[in-house]
Structure 1
Amino acid sequence: MKDLSIKKLYYSISEVSKLTGIEQYILRYWETEFEQLKPQKNRAGNRIYTNKDIQLILYIKNLLRERKYTIDGAKKILENYTAEKLVEEQNPAVNTESTKPKTEEINPGSKEKIALKKDLDEIKNLLEFILAKL
């Protein structure tokens, strides 16, 4: 298995733009729209993004561009977002296929969680692809 460790702790906005395929001005705009996306700034005032920020950006990109959510719709999905939860869902300890509830057992909200899990798996695959390119 490949070592998927990320080589850097912090990335500049230009590096994040190249990694994610999202223009810098859009990244700055998303900071104003999504309260969860708050990169730190260094002493010079430049944005410094963490790996968790990049995961969130890729998730937002998926919601907006792949799943065609509006900004407001994506905000609603991200209300309960935590970076740790995203990482945990991308690397489940148990096989989710064997623990999936049957259709009749699904309670309200579970269908959204299942769809979200599929999206997170797509993001994981995208991150693995990006990391392989580093």
Structure 2
Amino acid sequence: MDKEEGAFLTISELAGELGLPQHILRYWETRFPQLRPLQRSGNRRYYRPADVQLARRIHQLLNVEGFTVKGAQKALADGPAPSTQPSSPPVLDDAALLRDLQAIRDRLAAALG
């Protein structure tokens, strides 16, 4: 049974989602101070939605984009994470699109001419 969006995840659920061993998430907690799940009795970790999003971003930086831990720390400190949802292109009406394309054509002609 899947949890609802926004539900807290245990360390095993998050590790399973990311395809990582649990000790990697515990290691990340030592290297990324922003990653602080709730800890209950017996040190059970519960990752809030913000923690889950941050863990996904760290995973993206380290395991997909090839950052080092130090590089990922800097990337997270430098600015907000890009949205995980693909952005939709701006909606232009036909007249605006035609004006934009003509402006591009004119700039290309000037550069070539």
Q: Which residue in 2 is equivalent to 1:132?
A: none
The structure with the larger Rg is 2
Moved over 4 A (4+): none
Q: Which residue in 1 is equivalent to 2:46?
A: 48
CA distance in 2, matches of 1:72, 1:20: 20
Q: Which residue in 2 is equivalent to 1:12?
A: 10
User: What TM-score comes out, normalization by structure 2 length?
Assistant: 0.65
Query: What is the identity, as a one-letter code, of the residue corresponding to 1:48?
Result: Y
Query: What is the identity, as a one-letter code, of the residue corresponding to 1:32?
Result: T
1:72 to 60, 70, 73: 70
SS in 1 for 2:34: coil
Shift of 1:29: 0.2
Q: Which residue in 1 is equivalent to 2:33?
A: 35
Consecutive unaligned residues of structure 2, counting only runs of 5 or more, are: 91-113
Shift of 1:9: 2.2
SS in 2 for 1:48: strand
How many residue pairs are counted as aligned between the two chains? 88
CA distance in 1, matches of 2:38, 2:78: 21
User: What TM-score comes out, normalization by structure 1 length?
Assistant: 0.55
Summarize the Cα distance change of 1:86–1:77 in structure 2 as closer, same or farther, 3 Å threshold. Answer: closer
Query: What is the identity, as a one-letter code, of the residue corresponding to 2:52?
Result: I
- Structure in which a larger fraction of residues adopt strand: 2
CA distance in 2, matches of 1:68, 1:86: 16
Summarize the Cα distance change of 1:10–1:60 in structure 2 as closer, same or farther, 3 Å threshold. Answer: same
Shift of 1:45: 2.4
CA distance in 1, matches of 2:48, 2:65: 25
Consecutive unaligned residues of structure 1, counting only runs of 5 or more, are: 99-134
Query: What is the identity, as a one-letter code, of the residue corresponding to 1:9?
Result: A
Identical-residue share of aligned pairs (%): 34
